[in-house]
């Protein structure tokens, strides 16, 4: 099972979803499917995990929600290089966890350990409290879609469905049929001859029919067109909302993660350097747009300014601190600025300036 890299584990959803999504495929109404789901899909997973400044702290963090994926002091070396170094990770049940980090941080290696593809040198990976390695029962509950898909040379989608039906006891054949209008692919054509985007759709189609408890997705929508992205996220997020499916996503598309994730982990050099509920993370840093008097300075005693940019009298600042306390400090300045407004902070900005505090910003920017 570990050698089949189309879909290395499994996922699920409710019957009524497909009729709605399949009907909307004929128009651009898919935007509504994804947009309406984003706000509610993660409500049950809103409970936050305690913060972890590094892997050691993360390993001792006590999650306030039930932990579905629990990585403990995981270490993996390749030819002496520590791809994972005492790594810790905590993914609450029913959450969408965005895993981000620079190239070479160890994200793919971590996901392969969680999927049970790699054995650790030390440490352990638990799914719902049970070890993953050499545990067929747990692997039946996981789906893994890697970034680098590969298929048997002559396999068709129908062949894949039959293959995974024999491996995964919860494979939903009825769902496979219902999803045909959603994924307009030729089920009798060799998947190896599909484009990259079509191969991704085939893998996701099979994955959704495997009805897993855990989805591990490495760049899952890379190569897909915007409408296909919205449809797929709509299906996945509906599973999160209705079945409490746990989803771990590794992606470089931070803007996309910003719209679907409720928890974020940032990796660097084989370790987890930050782990937060996204709402908490956004609440700890404030982005300000300020209109200053001519030649006026802007100083906020007691606050760390992570970034500033000025264009004449108009300035933008990213400040470490909650929005209420930062705005109170700004309004107390003498003289106060002519105008000040708090702006939404994006995940991309959080990623850049959190790692910037660790000396990494120059490489990212």
CA proximity to 208, closest of 145, 122, 135: 145
Q: Is residue 4 part of a domain?
A: no
Model confidence band, residue 65 (pLDDT cutoffs 50, 70, 90): low
Identify whether 58 is part of a domain.
yes
Query: What element of type H or E holds 315?
Result: strand 314-320
Q: Which helix (DSSP H) or strand (DSSP E) does residue 271 occupy? A: strand 271-277
Is the pLDDT score of 310 beyond 90? no
- The model's pLDDT over 210-220, given as tens digits with 9 standing for 90+, comes to 999 999 999 99
Based on the fold, state whether residues 216 and 259 are members of the same structural domain.
Answer: yes
The per-residue pLDDT for 15 is: 37
Query: Which residues have a Cβ under 8 Å from the Cβ of 157 and sit 6 or more positions away?
Result: 185, 186, 187, 188, 189, 191, 202, 205, 206
In order of 41, 61, 131, 155, 222, the CA distances from 47 in angstroms are 13, 14, 24, 42, 29
- Mean pLDDT score, 178-193: 94
Same domain, 138 and 273: yes
Q: Is there a domain that residue 5 lies in?
A: no
Q: Are 202 and 349 part of one and the same domain?
A: no
CATH code, domain carrying 291: 3.30.70
Residues 286-295 pLDDT 10s? 899 998 877 6
∠ CA 204-205-207, nearest 5°, is 60
Average pLDDT over residues 176-184: 94
pLDDT recorded at residue 102: 86
Q: Reply yes or no on whether the pLDDT at 42 is more than 50.
A: no
Q: What is the pLDDT of residue 140?
A: 94
Q: Do 238 and 304 reside in the same domain of the chain? A: no
> pLDDT grade, residue 337 (50/70/90)?
confident
The encoded tokens of residue 344 equal: 């939404």
Q: Are 158 and 76 within one domain?
A: yes
Whether 171 and 209 share a structural domain: yes
Here the CATH number for the domain that contains residue 25 is 3.40.50.300
Highest mean pLDDT among 56-65, 164-173, 286-295: 164-173
Give the Cα separation of 201 and 235 in Å (integer): 12
Same domain, yes or no: 81 and 99 = yes
Residue-wise burial string across 285-315, b where 16 or more C-beta atoms lie within 10 A, e elsewhere: bbbbebebeeeeebebeebeebbeeeeeeeb
pLDDT greater than 70 at residue 125: yes
Using 50, 70 and 90 to split pLDDT, how confident is the model at 8?
A: very low
Of 3-12, 168-177, 281-290, 343-352, minimum mean pLDDT range? 3-12
Residues 354 and 297 occupy one common structural domain: yes
Q: Largest alpha-carbon pair distance within the chain?
A: 74
Q: Is residue 8 part of a domain?
A: no
Cα–Cα distance list, 240 to 9, 95, 202, 233 (Å) = 16, 7, 20, 10
Local structure of residue 195 (DSSP, 8 states): -
Q: Check whether 311 has a pLDDT greater than 60.
A: yes
Beta pairing partners, 249 = 98, 217
Among 277, 302, 320, the domain boundary falls at 277
Rounded CA gap, 329 and 305, in Å? 13
Q: Is the pLDDT of residue 64 over 70?
A: no
pLDDT digits (tens, 9 = 90+) for 236-263: 999 999 999 999 999 888 888 888 999 9
Same structural domain, 173 and 288:
no
pLDDT for the residue 264: 93
Chosen domain end from 248, 277, 306: 277
The pLDDT, as a whole number, for residue 284 is 85
Same domain assignment for residues 219 and 197: yes
Q: Give the residue numbers spanning the domain of 316.
A: 284-364
Task: Give residue 336's pLDDT band: very low, low, confident or very high (50, 70, 90).
Answer: confident
Q: Which of 249, 277, 305 is the last residue of a domain?
A: 277
**Which residues fall within 8 angstroms of residue 268, CB to CB, at 6 or more apart?**
101, 102, 105, 355, 358, 360
Q: What is the count of structural domains for the chain?
A: 2
Return the higher-pLDDT residue of 179 and 356.
179
Same domain as 318, residue 193? no
DSSP string, 8-30: SS-----HHHHHHHHHHTTTTTH
- The reply to whether 271 and 291 lie within a common domain is no
Q: 218: closest CA among 102, 138, 118, 111?
A: 111
Cα-based distances in Å from 135 to 126, 192, 201, 207, 335: 10, 30, 28, 19, 65
């Amino acid at each position: 099972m570990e050698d089949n890299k189309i879909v290395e584990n499994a996922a699920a959803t409710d019957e009524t979803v497909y009729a709605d999504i399949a009907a909307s495929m004929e128009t651009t109404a898919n935007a509504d499917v994804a947009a309406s789901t984003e706000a509610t899909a993660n409500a049950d997973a809103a409970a936050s995990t305690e913060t972890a400044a590094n892997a050691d702290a993360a390993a001792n963090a006590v999650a306030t929600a039930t932990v579905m994926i629990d990585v403990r002091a995981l270490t993996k070396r390749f030819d002496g290089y520590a791809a994972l170094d005492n790594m810790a990770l905590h993914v609450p049940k029913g959450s969408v966890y965005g895993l981000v980090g620079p190239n070479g941080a160890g994200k793919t290696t971590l996901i392969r350990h969680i999927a049970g593809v790699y054995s650790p040198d030390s440490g352990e990976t638990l799914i719902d409290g049970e070890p993953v390695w050499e545990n067929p029962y747990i692997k039946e509950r996981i789906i893994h879609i890697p970034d680098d898909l590969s298929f048997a040379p002559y396999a068709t989608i129908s062949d894949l469905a039959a293959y995974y039906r024999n491996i995964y006891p919860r494979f939903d054949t009825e769902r496979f049929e219902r999803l045909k209008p959603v994924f307009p692919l030729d089920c009798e054509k060799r998947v190896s001859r599909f484009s990259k985007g079509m191969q991704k759709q085939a893998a996701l189609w099979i994955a959704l029919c495997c009805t897993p408890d855990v989805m591990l997705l490495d760049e899952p929508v890379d190569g897909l067109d915007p409408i296909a992205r919205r449809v797929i996220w709509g299906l996945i997020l509906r599973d999160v909302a209705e079945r409490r499916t746990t989803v771990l996503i590794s992606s470089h598309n931070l803007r996309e993660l910003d719209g679907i994730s409720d928890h974020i982990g940032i990796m660097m050099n084989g370790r987890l350097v930050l782990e937060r509920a996204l709402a908490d993370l956004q609440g700890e840093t404030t982005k300000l747009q300020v209109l200053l008097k001519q030649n006026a300075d802007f100083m906020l005693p007691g606050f760390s300014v992570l970034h500033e940019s000025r264009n004449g009298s108009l300035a933008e600042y990213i400040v470490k601190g909650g929005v209420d306390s930062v705005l109170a400090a700004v309004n107390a300045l003498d003289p106060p600025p002519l105008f000040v407004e708090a702006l939404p902070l994006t995940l991309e900005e959080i990623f850049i300036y959190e790692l910037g505090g660790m000396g990494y910003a120059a490489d990212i920017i």
